[in-house]
A and B are shown apart, each in its own frame.
Chain A
Amino acid sequence: MAISPEEHPQKAFGWAARDSSGILSPFRFSRRENADDDVTIKVLYCGVCHSDLHFAKNDWGFTNYPVVPGHEIVGVVTKTGNNVDKFKVGDRVGVGVIVGSCMKCETCQQDLENYCPRTIFTYNSHYHDQTKTYGGYSDIIVVHHRYVLRFPDNLAPDAGAPLLCAGITVYSPMKYYGMTEPGKHLGVAGLGGLGHIAVKIGKAFGLKVTVISSSPAKEDEATRRLGADSFLLLSDPAKLKGAMGTMDYIIDTVSAVHALAPLIGLLKLNGKLVTVGLPNKPLELPIFPLVLGRKLVGGSDIGGVKETQEMLDFCAKHNITSDIELIHMDYINTAMERLAKSDVRYRFVIDVASSLTQ
C-alpha cells in the first residue's frame, strides 16, 4: 500500500482514490499530533456526498491525488487539546466540509468561514502547515475545535451524518434568502441527497413544498414518504403551465446542466431561485422574465460553522435525518457507480467504525 509522503505522528488508515479512474483502495497515511486547539476524533460514520465522486474522478480539474474523500463525518472524541473546553473525550461530534479558515477576515468574523478566501476544506486542501487534508473515509481525523460540531444525542449518528454537508447546503440558503415564512410555497428541484433533505427541512419550516422533477417514478416517494405537498413533472406541459407563478422560492439541487427558464417561470413576483447544485457548464439564463417579475437567481455554498450547529440542533428538534443506505467500506466503489446513476435513496453512509479494517 502507498504511504502518504507527509509524516505526522498519528498513524491513520483510510481509502483513497489515486487517479482519475476514481477507484478507491486502502491507503495508509498519518494525522498531525493533537495540538492545543485540536480534537482527535474516531470516525464512526461518513456520508458519501456526490462531491466525493466528482473529486475522486477529478471532474472539476483540481484534485490532488491521492485523495481521501468524505466530509459528512460523525465520530467520538478521543483526545482534546489544552485550549479546548467545548468538547471532552467521549463526546459525539461531527465534521463537515471545512476544517480551517483564516479566522481573521471580515467573513470569518461574521461566522461565514465557508466564504473566507482562505477556506481549508476537509479534503483535497492544504492545511496551515502546508500538508494535505484527508477526509472521513478514514479511521481518525484531527480537527481544530472551532470547526467541530456537537452532534445532538437524539440524532442517529449514521442517518445524521449527511446533514453535515447536504443538510447545511440546503438549510443555509433557506435561512439567508428568507425561505422560512410558514405558508409560503417552496419548490425543490431534484430529489436526491440534497433534495430529499430540503423537502424535510422545508416542511419543518411550515412551508408548502412541491418537488419538481423529470422522473415520474419519484412522485410516490416525494408525496407519500417524504411528505411533500405536491409533485410537478417537468415534462408535463399542462401541469407545468398550471404551476407557473405559484412558487415563492425554489431550491435547485440539480447538478446536471438543465433549463432554468421553466423554473424561473414557476416563481411568483420577487421569487427566488437558489442553485446549490454545481453543473460543470454554464446554464442559460433568460433575462426578460427576471426583469418583468423582479426575480433572482442566487447561489449558496454550504454554511459557516455556527450555522451548521444551528442546523443540526434544528434537525434534532424536528427529528430530521437523511434517508440512507448503510454500506461497508469495501462496497465504496460499487456505491460510487450506483451514485453516478443516482441509484440510491438518498445517501450512502459508510459504517467506518465497523468496516474499515486494515
Chain B
Amino acid sequence: MSTEQEHPKKAFGWAARDSSGVFSPFKFSRRETGDKDVMFKVLYCGICHSDLHMAKNEWGISTYPLVPGHEIVGVVTEVGSRVQKFNVGDKVGVGCMVGSCTSCENCTNNLENYCPEWILTYGAKYYDGTTTYGGYSDIMVANEHFVVRIPETLPLDAAAPLLCAGITTYSPLRYFGLEKPGMHVGVVGLGGLGHVAVKFAKAMGVKVTVISTSPNKKEEAIEHLCADSFLVSRDEDQMQAAMGTLDGIIDTVSAVHPLLPLIGLLKSHGKLVMVGAPEKPLELPVFPLLVGRKIVAGSGIGGMKETQEMIDFAAKHSITADIEVIPMDYVNIAMERLLKGDVKYRFVIDIGNTLKSTL
C-alpha cells in the first residue's frame, strides 16, 4: 500500500529517500485521530543534528523514505473523545517519542525515554506496524501522553528546539544534581545543545564555563549567552589553570574527543555527563577517575513529565533557543551548513508558512 493510502488523513512533508540525505517533497498520510490522540497543524519544526545523522543513515538504522523532525510545535485542530489535557486551539509540541509500552517500571516512573519499547517520532514502527513520520510535515497526530503544552509566553519558533535540545540538557542538570546555586558547571561544545545548556544552567543559578575548541566563540559565550567564563580546550595553559574547578560538565560534543582533560577539570566527586554520542568508544583514563572519585555518565533526552516541567521552567525564565528560521525548501542547504557547524544555533523550519504541496 502506498504511503499516501496507508492512513485516512492526507499529509505532506519533505523526506530523505536514500542515504544521500537529500530532501524532497513527499506525499503520505496520517492515521485517524484516535480517542486518545491529538491532531495538530505543524507551525515550526527544529532541525536537530540527529535528523542529519538519520537522513544519511549514519547510525545504520534508517528506513526510507524518512521524514525527520522531533522538535515540533503547532496548534491543535482535533482531539479524540477521551483526550483530557488538550483542546482545539492549544499550542502544543511533540519531541523525540510518540509511544512506549506504558506498563514497564520505566514508563510508570515517568521515564518513557528509557522504555525498551519506546517509539521514536520518526523512522520507527508504531503500534499498528506503520512507519512513524516526523515534523518536517504539515500535520501531526500523537497520543496525548506524548504531547506537551507550550505556554503562551514562549514564542513558538524559538521554543521548538527545546523539545529535544532543551530536555537533553535540562534532564542531566537535574538528575546529576548540577543545579544548585553556587555550583560551577562546564558546558563542552557551543552548538544546538550547548547554548541551551548554558541558558538552563544560568537560570538555575549555576556558574557556567563554556569549553570549546573555537576561540572565536568566546564573545558569543560571554556577551550573548552570559557564560561566566570560557576555556579553549586546546590551550594547555588555560586548561591546566582550571583543573579541579568544576562540579560537573555537560559534554555535548558528538565527535570523538579526549576525556582526560575534561576529567581533570572536575573537582573531586565531579561528574562528566555525556549527552552527545560519539559512535566510536572514547578513551577512559581510570587513574584520575579513581583518585578523585569522579564519574562519567550518559543521559538521553527525558521522560514526558520532565519534558513538560522543562518547558514550564523555560517559560518562567524566558529561555528559548537562538534560531535561524528557514523556509522548507532551504532544508538541503541548511543540512550542509549544519554539517559544518554553520548555524547559531538551531535552524527552525517555518512549516506553517512555507511547506506547500507542489505535487
| CA distance in complex: A190, B289 (Å) | 19
| CA distance in complex: A122, B287 (Å) | 19
Binary contact track B290-317/A, C-beta < 8 Å → 1, others 0? 1111111111100000000000000000
Contact between A275 and B298, CB atoms less than 8 A apart: no
For the A-B complex, the count of residue pairs with Cβ-Cβ distances under 8 Å equals 107
Q: Which of A112, A282, A289, A291 has the most CB of B within 10 A?
A: A291
A residues in contact with B282, CB < 8 Å: 284-285, 287
Q: For residue B287, which residue of chain A has the nearest CB?
A: A278
Across the interface, A299 reaches (CB within 8 A) one of B175, B278, B286, namely B286
Near B by CB (< 8 A), chain A positions 263-319 give 269, 275-279, 282-301
| CA distance in complex: A277, B295 (Å) | 15
Secondary structure of the A contact surface, majority rule: mixed
- Rounded to whole Å, the gap between the CB of A303 and the closest CB of chain B is 10
Contact between A299 and B289, CB atoms less than 8 A apart: yes
Secondary structure of the B contact surface, majority rule: mixed
| CA distance in complex: A25, B287 (Å) | 30
Contact between A282 and B298, CB atoms less than 8 A apart: no
Contact between A291 and B293, CB atoms less than 8 A apart: no
Number of A interface residues, CB 8 Å?
Answer: 33
Number of B interface residues, CB 8 Å?
Answer: 35
B residues in contact with A294, CB < 8 Å: 114, 175, 297-300
Contact between A296 and B296, CB atoms less than 8 A apart: yes
Contact between B268 and A107, CB atoms less than 8 A apart: yes
**B57 at the binding interface (Cβ < 8 Å):** no
- Rounded to whole Å, the gap between the CB of B173 and the closest CB of chain A is 13
A293-B293 contact, Cβ under 8 Å, with A283-B286, A285-B282: no
**A205 at the binding interface (Cβ < 8 Å):** no
A residues in contact with B268, CB < 8 Å: 107, 112, 115
Contact between A291 and B294, CB atoms less than 8 A apart: no
A297-B293 contact, Cβ under 8 Å, with A287-B298, A290-B274: no
Contact between B293 and A115, CB atoms less than 8 A apart: yes
Contact between B281 and A285, CB atoms less than 8 A apart: yes
Contact between B290 and A287, CB atoms less than 8 A apart: no
A-side residues, CB < 8 A to B, are 107, 112, 115, 173, 176, 260-261, 269, 275-279, 282-301
B-side residues, CB < 8 A to A, are 106, 111, 114, 175, 259-260, 268-269, 271, 274-279, 281-300
